């Protein structure tokens, strides 16, 4: 992770925080590219995108209820412990997904797979609440955008390493004559490799992280947690900029999550070759890596609001493009475009929101942040899946009616973000400068 001479090298705490993005991005890649295909292998369906979409809606509903409770509780100096608990739930469940290829293709195999997948997703999403809120404990206010962008950037490129082995195993089982029997075991290998990678790159953060900003621990922390959940909405009345931004975030991140979650399933329903689809997603990571780094570098020269405005505007155009997606060459344009702005919009949103909130309440604020992010996915996934029942992609002519919600939601998010830019920000106490160069 070499930086230019004009920028100070990352500290050990910053590197460890970035490495967790490397850890869990391997799972994101696996879930995006192969897990829907794994489910289709176990329980073949003529409308994969609808079944997969509704499953992810269930995941989202669970995460929406958990995020504010966990985030608020974490502010009482327990962030590290709860973070690791949920990270381990995700890691162990990811490894458990490998077992289903040993079960014959019965309906029960598909159902059990979805249950374990939901548990994995809940562990992944819950750990991310704490991970995001750790940002101001590991770095300075001035370096926040760069560290956030580097997390996504290195996550994109490094996740390609374990995924390359997953992809190789999948190609062997689907394209090499005589090795058709290996397809199920390819999914087993992919899940085990991903779980091991996720665990290995989680350990540095577990070792180095110290929660510096937290609230005094009350006598009854659980009861106090629920009290604070109610009071946090009162704080948003005072912090109107953060509130309007979150509403905008709700809409535009919906499209981002929907594209990520449904990419492979949508391509399959459109009749594209599955292996080519996986390779396209692989290519997206290589495009996303330098573009996310570029956003991080530009954040030191260009206001973060303007960078976010560019990314949201680009995604609005991408949403319009997906409605007319019919051919393979269009799919290549789509994945390259997504790669260019995916890291930027996620990294800048995370660090921008961190700057709008008080340092000692990041857990509870990010609990709400994740509510807006995760509940948005209910809207996108739910609408596209519901419309997919009546207007299947496989039967579409020149327009994909089931994908019309994407550009609409991006456009609403864009308009609301423009409004948020005009709202004055509240000044908070500056984040303590704890990220001094570490001794090697």
Residue 219 or 267, more confident: 267
1: helix, strand or coil: coil
pLDDT of residue 48: 61
Question: Which backbone phi and psi does 37 adopt, to 5 degrees?
Answer: -70, -35
The contacts of residue 208 (CB under 8 Å, 6+ apart) are 12, 13, 16
Indicate whether 430 pLDDT > 60.
Answer: no
Please give the pLDDT value at position 433: 41
CB-based burial of residue 301 (10 Å sphere; 0-12 exposed, 13-18 middle, 19+ buried)? exposed
Which of 47-56, 83-92, 139-148, 423-432 shows the lowest mean pLDDT across its residues?
423-432
| Residue 37 near residue 264, CB atoms below 8 Å | yes
Sequence-distant (6+) residues with CB within 8 A of 37 are: 170, 187, 264, 268, 274, 278
Q: How confident is the model at residue 437 (pLDDT cuts 50, 70, 90)?
A: very low
**Quick one: pLDDT at residue 69?**
72
Q: How confident is the model at residue 19 (pLDDT cuts 50, 70, 90)?
A: very high
Report the percentage of the chain scoring pLDDT > 70.
Answer: 79
pLDDT band at 64 (very low <50, low <70, confident <90, very high): confident
- Reported as a single tens digit per residue, the pLDDT across 293-322 is 888 888 878 888 899 999 999 999 999 998
Q: Quick one: pLDDT at residue 224?
A: 62
Lowest-pLDDT choice from 86-100, 147-161, 376-390:
376-390
Provide the percentage of residues in the chain whose pLDDT is more than 90: 21
More confident residue, 362 or 54: 54
Is 47's pLDDT higher than 70?
Answer: no
Residue 14: band (very low, low, confident or very high) from pLDDT cuts 50, 70, 90: very high
- What pLDDT is stored for residue 431 in this prediction? 43
Asked whether the beta carbons of 269 and 392 are under 8 A apart, the reply is yes
pLDDT at residue number 225: 61
pTM here? 0.72
Phi-psi region of 327 (alpha: psi -120 to 50; beta: other; left: phi over 0): beta
pLDDT at 265 over 80: no
Residue 393 has pLDDT above 80, yes or no: no
Name the class of domain 12-210+229-422.
mainly alpha
pLDDT at 7 over 70: no
Q: Which residue has the tokens 């090499």?
A: 176
Question: Which carries the bigger pLDDT value, residue 44 or residue 137?
Answer: 137
Structure token pair of residue 367? 């609990």
* Residue 395 binned pLDDT confidence (cut-offs 50, 70, 90): low
Q: What pLDDT band is residue 432 in, cutting at 50, 70 and 90?
A: very low
Report the range of poorest mean pLDDT among 105-119, 220-234, 348-362.
220-234
Question: Model confidence at 146, in pLDDT bands (50, 70, 90)?
Answer: confident
CA 152 to chain CA centroid, nearest Å: 9
Total residues belonging to the chain: 440
Q: Is the pLDDT of residue 440 over 50?
A: no
Q: What is the mean pLDDT of the chain?
A: 80
Contact 48, 40 (CB under 8 A): yes
Which has the higher per-residue pLDDT, 387 or 14? 14
- Please state the rounded mean pLDDT for residues 387-395: 72
Which H or E run contains 361? none
The Cα–Cα gap between 102 and 184 comes to 8
Condensed to tens digits (0 to 9), the pLDDT of residues 98-126 reads 988 877 666 677 888 889 999 999 999 88
User: Dihedral of the CA atoms 113, 126, 15, 437 (nearest 10)?
Assistant: -170
Please report the pLDDT score of residue 357 as a whole number: 79
What are the sequence ranges of the domains in the chain?
Answer: 12-210+229-422
């Amino acid at each position: 992770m070499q930086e230019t001479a004009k920028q100070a090298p990352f500290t050990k705490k910053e590197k460890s925080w970035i490495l967790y993005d490397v850890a869990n991005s391997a799972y994101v890649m696996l879930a995006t590219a192969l897990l829907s295909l794994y489910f289709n292998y176990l329980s073949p369906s003529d409308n994969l995108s609808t079944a997969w979409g509704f499953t992810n809606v269930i995941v989202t509903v669970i995460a929406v209820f958990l995020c504010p409770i966990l985030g608020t509780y974490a502010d009482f100096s327990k962030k590290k412990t709860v973070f690791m608990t949920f990270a381990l739930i995700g890691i162990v469940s990811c490894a458990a997904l490998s077992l289903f290829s040993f079960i014959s293709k019965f309906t029960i195999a598909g159902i059990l797979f979805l249950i374990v997948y939901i548990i994995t997703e809940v562990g992944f999403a819950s750990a991310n609440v704490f991970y995001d809120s750790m940002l101001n404990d590991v770095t300075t206010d001035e370096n926040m955008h760069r560290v956030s962008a580097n997390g996504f950037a290195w996550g994109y490129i490094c996740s390609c390493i374990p995924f390359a082995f997953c992809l190789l195993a999948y190609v062997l089982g689907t394209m090499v004559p005589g090795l058709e029997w290996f397809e199920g075991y390819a999914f087993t290998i992919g899940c085990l490799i991903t779980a091991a990678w996720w665990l290995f790159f989680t350990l540095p953060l577990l070792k180095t992280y110290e929660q510096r900003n937290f609230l005094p621990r009350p006598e009854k922390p659980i009861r106090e947690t629920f009290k604070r959940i109610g009071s946090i909405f009162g704080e948003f009345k005072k912090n109107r900029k953060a509130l309007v931004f979150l509403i905008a975030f709700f809409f535009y991140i919906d499209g981002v999550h929907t594209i990520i979650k449904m990419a492979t399933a949508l391509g399959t329903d459109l009749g594209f070759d599955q292996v080519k689809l996986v390779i396209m997603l692989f290519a997206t990571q290589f495009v996303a890596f330098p573009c996310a780094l570029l956003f991080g570098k530009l954040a030191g020269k260009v206001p973060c609001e303007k960078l976010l405005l560019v990314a949201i505007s680009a995604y609005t155009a991408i949403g319009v493009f997906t409605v007319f997606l019919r051919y393979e060459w269009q799919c290549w344009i789509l994945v390259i475009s997504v790669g260019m702005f995916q890291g930027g919009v996620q990294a800048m949103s995370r660090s921008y929101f961190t700057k709008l909130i008080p340092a000692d309440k990041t857990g509870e604020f990010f609990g709400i942040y994740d509510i807006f992010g995760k509940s948005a996915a209910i809207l996108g996934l739910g609408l596209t899946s519901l419309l997919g029942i009546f207007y299947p992609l496989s039967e579409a002519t020149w327009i994909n009616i089931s994908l019309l919600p994407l550009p609409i939601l991006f456009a609403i998010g864009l308009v609301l973000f423009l409004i948020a830019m005009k709202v004055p920000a509240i000044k908070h106490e500056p984040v303590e400068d704890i990220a001094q160069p570490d001794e090697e």
